C-alpha cells in the first residue's frame, strides 16, 4: 500500500481495460505508454511570446505560474510522439516558427497516457498534453475550448467547495496554454495546447497522504500478477460490504450528485478518474477526483439560477443521455461492477445486489428529483460518429442497476 501514485497508476492497471471492446486499444508508442518498462521521457518545450498565445489560469501556485508563464513569454509543451508523426500539423509548424526550443521536461506517463507526471518537481504537478492519437474510444486532442473549459470548471469548483462534503477533493487544473485559432472559418477551433494540473489534492491538508487510483483496487500488477488486489489491504479486518458501501460507493455517488445539483457537472467517476486518499492510519480520508473535462447540464444550471457567463460552449448539454453514460456506465458498470467482482474473489457469499440495492436507495434518497434529468434506461456510446468523429449515443434498453 505504500507504493507511489506513479507506480500504482502505471503498474497496477493490468486486466482492467475490459469495460468496452475499445478499452485496450492504444496508438501510443511503447516508449510512451504507462504499461511499459521505460521509466521516463522528455516533453518538447518551446519558449513562445506571450502575446502570440491564449492563456488561462485558475489560481495557480506561484511557482508553477513562474515556471510556465514567466513574464512576456510562456513555455509551450508538446508530446514527442507528435514530432515523430505530425510534423505537418499547422500548430506544430506555428510553434517552430514563433518559438525557441528549450530544455525538455522529464516526465512519466500516467494511466491516461497523455497526462504526464513532471519528475522531481515541487509542487508536484502534471502536464495534460495534446495527443491526437486514439486511446480506447477517442482521439486525445487538447483543443483550446476544451482546456479553457477545464480551467473554468476548476476555478468554479474551487470557489464552490462549500457545496461539497468533506470527503470530496479534486486535482485542480491551474494553467492552460493554447495556440490562437489560425483557421477561424473551420467548423470548430482545432487550435491546441496543454494544461498544467496541480497534483496536490484541493482543499490542501497538512498530513502526508497516499493516493491510490480506483482501478488499483482490483487491477493486477504489471511485474507480479500474483500480488493480491489492494482492495483487501484497504478492507483489512473490516466488514467488506460495509466498507465498500460506506467508504467507496456512497461517497462517490454523493459526489456525483452534489456536483450535478450545485453545478450541473456530470462527473465521470470511473476507475481512472478517482483516487483514494489514504491517511497514515491506512484509512480512506477523501475521494480525489481528477479530470475536469466534464459534460455540463445547462438545464440544471438554469433551474438553480447559476450564471454560465464564465463558461464557453464546450460540452454544454440540454438532454439526459450523458448522465446515464457517466453514472450507469462509467461509475456503475466500469468501476463498481469491477469492485464487486474483485470482492467476490475472497468473499464469495456477497452478491452484486448486496451493493447495488443499497446504492439505488441512497441515490434516490439524496437526489429525489433525478427522474427530471435521467433517462429511464441505460445509455451508452454507439459505434456511429458525428462529423468530428465523436461517438453518438444509443439507448441500450436496459434497466439501470446502480440507481432506480
Ligand X SMILES: Nc1ncnc2c1ncn2[C@@H]1O[C@H](COP(=O)(O)OP(=O)(O)OP(=O)(O)O)[C@@H](O)[C@H]1O
Which residues contact ligand X by CB under 6 A?
13, 16-17, 110-115, 128, 135-136, 140, 215, 268, 270-273, 290-291, 293
Q: Closer to Mg ion at the Cβ: 277 or 362?
A: 277
In the numeric block, which cell numbers belong to residue 208? 502526508
Q: Closer to ligand X at the Cβ: 8 or 234?
A: 8
Closest distance of CB 288 from ligand X, Å = 12
Task: Compute the distance between CA of residue 162 and CA of residue 151 in angstroms, rounded to an integer.
Answer: 19
Q: Closer to ligand X at the Cβ: 48 or 234?
A: 234
- Contact partner, 17, from ligand X, Mg ion, none, Cβ < 5-8 Å per class: ligand X
Closest distance of CB 220 from ligand X, Å = 11
Closest distance of CB 119 from ligand X, Å = 17
Q: Give the CA radius of gyration of the chain.
A: 21
Count of residues of this chain found to bind Mg ion when the rule CB under 5 A is applied: 4
Q: Which of 291, 328, 337, 362 binds Mg ion (CB under 5 A)?
A: 291
Pairing of strands 193-198, 125-129: antiparallel
The residues near 122 (Cβ < 8 Å, ≥ 6 apart) are 63
Q: Which of 81, 110, 273, 315 binds Mg ion (CB under 5 A)?
A: 273
Considering only residues 106 to 135 of the shown chain, the ones binding Mg ion according to CB under 5 A are: 112
- Contact partner, 329, from ligand X, Mg ion, none, Cβ < 5-8 Å per class: none
Task: Compute the distance between CA of residue 38 and CA of residue 296 in angstroms, rounded to an integer.
Answer: 37
Q: Closer to ligand X at the Cβ: 113 or 324?
A: 113
Reported as type and span, the H/E element at residue 324 is helix 321-324
Task: Compute the distance between CA of residue 239 and CA of residue 349 in angstroms, rounded to an integer.
Answer: 13
Closest distance of CB 31 from ligand X, Å = 17
Task: Compute the distance between CA of residue 196 and CA of residue 119 in angstroms, rounded to an integer.
Answer: 14
DSSP string covering 34-81: SSSS---EEEEEEEEEGGGEEEEESS--HHHHHHHS-TTEEEEEE-HH
**Residues making contact with Mg ion (CB under 5 A):** 112, 272-273, 291
Amino acid at each position: 500500500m505504500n507504493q507511489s501514485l506513479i507506480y500504482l497508476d502505471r503498474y497496477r492497471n493490468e486486466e482492467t481495460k475490459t469495460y468496452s471492446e475499445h478499452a485496450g486499444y492504444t496508438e501510443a508508442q511503447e516508449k510512451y505508454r504507462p504499461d511499459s518498462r521505460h521509466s521516463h521521457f522528455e516533453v518538447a518545450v518551446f519558449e513562445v511570446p506571450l502575446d502570440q498565445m491564449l492563456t488561462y489560469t485558475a489560481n495557480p501556485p506561484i511557482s508553477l505560474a513562474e515556471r510556465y508563464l514567466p513574464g512576456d513569454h510562456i513555455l509551450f509543451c508538446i508530446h514527442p510522439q507528435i514530432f515523430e508523426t505530425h510534423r505537418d500539423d499547422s500548430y506544430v509548424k506555428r510553434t517552430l516558427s514563433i518559438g525557441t526550443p528549450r530544455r525538455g521536461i522529464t516526465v512519466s506517463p500516467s494511466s491516461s497516457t497523455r497526462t504526464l507526471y513532471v519528475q522531481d518537481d515541487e509542487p508536484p504537478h502534471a502536464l495534460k498534453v495534446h495527443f491526437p492519437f486514439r486511446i480506447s474510444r477517442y482521439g486525445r486532442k487538447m483543443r483550446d475550448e476544451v482546456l479553457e473549459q477545464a480551467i473554468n470548471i476548476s476555478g468554479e469548483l474551487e470557489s464552490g467547495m462549500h457545496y461539497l462534503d468533506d470527503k470530496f477533493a479534486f486535482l485542480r487544473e491551474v494553467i492552460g496554454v493554447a495556440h490562437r485559432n489560425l483557421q477561424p472559418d473551420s467548423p470548430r477551433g482545432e487550435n491546441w495546447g496543454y494544461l498544467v494540473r496541480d497534483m496536490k489534492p484541493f482543499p490542501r491538508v497538512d498530513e502526508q497522504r497516499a493516493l491510490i487510483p480506483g482501478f488499483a483496487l482490483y487491477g493486477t500488477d504489471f511485474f507480479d500478477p500474483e500480488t493480491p488486489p489492494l482492495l483487501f489491504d484497504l478492507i483489512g479486518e473490516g466488514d467488506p460490504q460495509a466498507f465498500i458501501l460506506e467508504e467507496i460507493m456512497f461517497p462517490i455517488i454523493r459526489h456525483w450528485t452534489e456536483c450535478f445539483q450545485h453545478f450541473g457537472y456530470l462527473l465521470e467517476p470511473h476507475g481512472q478518474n478517482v483516487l483514494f486518499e489514504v491517511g497514515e492510519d491506512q484509512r480512506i480520508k477523501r475521494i480525489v477526483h481528477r479530470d475536469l473535462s466534464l459534460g455540463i447540464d445547462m438545464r440544471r444550471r438554469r433551474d438553480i439560477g447559476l450564471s454560465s457567463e464564465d463558461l464557453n460552449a464546450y460540452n454544454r448539454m440540454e438532454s439526459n443521455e450523458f448522465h446515464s453514460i457517466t453514472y450507469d456506465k462509467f461509475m456503475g458498470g466500469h468501476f463498481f461492477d469491477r469492485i464487486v467482482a474483485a470482492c467476490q474473489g475472497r468473499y464469495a457469499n456477497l452478491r452484486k445486489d448486496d451493493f447495488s440495492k443499497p446504492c439505488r436507495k441512497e441515490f434516490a434518497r439524496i437526489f429525489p428529483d433525478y427522474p427530471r434529468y435521467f433517462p429511464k434506461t441505460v445509455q451508452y456510446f454507439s459505434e456511429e460518429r458525428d462529423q468530428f468523429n465523436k461517438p453518438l449515443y444509443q439507448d441500450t434498453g436496459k434497466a439501470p442497476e446502480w440507481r432506480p
